[in-house]
Amino acid sequence: MFNVPKIQTEVFARLPDSLRVVDHPEVRFGVARDSFLEGPAFDRDGNLYCVDIPYGRVFRVGSDGRFELACRYDGRPNGLAIHRDGRIFIADQLRGILVLDPARGVVETVVERDGYEPFRGPNDLIFDRQGELLFTDQGQSGLDRPYGVLYRLHAGGRLERLLEHIPSPNGLALSPDEHTVYLAVTRANAIWRVPLDGSGNGAVARVGNYIQLSGGTGPDGIAPAHDGGLAVAHIGLATVWLFDRLGEPIARVQSCAGVQPTNVAFDPRDDSMLYITEAASGQILRARVPMHGAALYSHA
């Protein structure tokens, strides 16, 4: 699709057989899944957390690549975002926005509905510099059913709808000045630019199509670079695209495993090392890339 340099990945960690569900596995899109990894996020100690959607599990992966079960609960965790105080916030498809205390392994509900209406299926989330949480509610939305929503959960608990009628909102990232939200719209195979109007109330102004992709299923997770660039996981195409701050493609990171790179995270301790959850193989890949990850709220 883009004629850019190719970067090869390597396997950093593989979900061990002892943690794969082989008895009565969930069938997803006609394929029996022993796992489905998503949502990588680093804590301050250098541990990489990720989720296993169909089996309600959150894993902690050490620097040696060893998986450890951080918690298991009744739900379908999708995205993770870590607060600067160490709490792990979870976008759960069934239960809304949850929070995990990693020391106790206990999950509690933060918000489960918009007023009287339950969420359709939260997908991903990110903190801004003020500690406010932006998250997507995707459900089964698509071009035929554009009912996805982008929310902001204010630090005081107020829930705000920033944008509605989105055909499959997924991963999201913020520009360096936090005046723009970049939003993966999976079923439109695009990254949208969602400008905040600068008036102080965070209203959305004149949403546009920022990057148009083709092939595969579409963009899933996004990781922001410190200079405004983006790393975009293109599920179904075995690729993570790297774009500069103007939205120009600069490199293609190729999966050395399956075709389903779901999400991406830069290592805060080595910010040009990009980690990728690959769901088809149940592995975490990594690659050295020509960009540096943005500092996230978890490490501010």
Query: Is 209 marked within a binding site?
Result: no
Interatomic CA distance for residues 280 and 193, integer angstroms: 29
Confirm whether residue 170 is marked as ligand binding. Answer: yes
Largest interatomic CA distance in the chain:
54
Q: Which long-range contacts (CB under 8 A, 24 or more apart) does 207-214 make?
A: 207/163, 210/182, 210/247, 211/243, 211/247, 213/1, 213/189, 213/241, 214/1, 214/189
Q: What is the torsional sign of CA 92, 98, 99, 104?
A: negative
Residue at 271: amino acid letter: D
Instruction: Check whether 68 is labelled as a binding-site residue.
Output: no
Query: Which residue numbers are catalytic?
Result: 220
Q: Cβ(99)–Cβ(89) under 8 Å?
A: yes
What values do phi and psi take at 59, rounded to 5? -110, 150
Six-digit token pair at 127?
């903190």
SS3 content of the chain, % helix, strand, coil (to 5): 5, 55, 40
Determine whether the annotation assigns residue 189 to a binding site. Answer: no
**Binding-site sequence positions:** 38, 123, 170, 220
**Binding-site sequence positions for substrate:** 123
**Binding-site sequence positions for a divalent metal cation:** 38, 170, 220
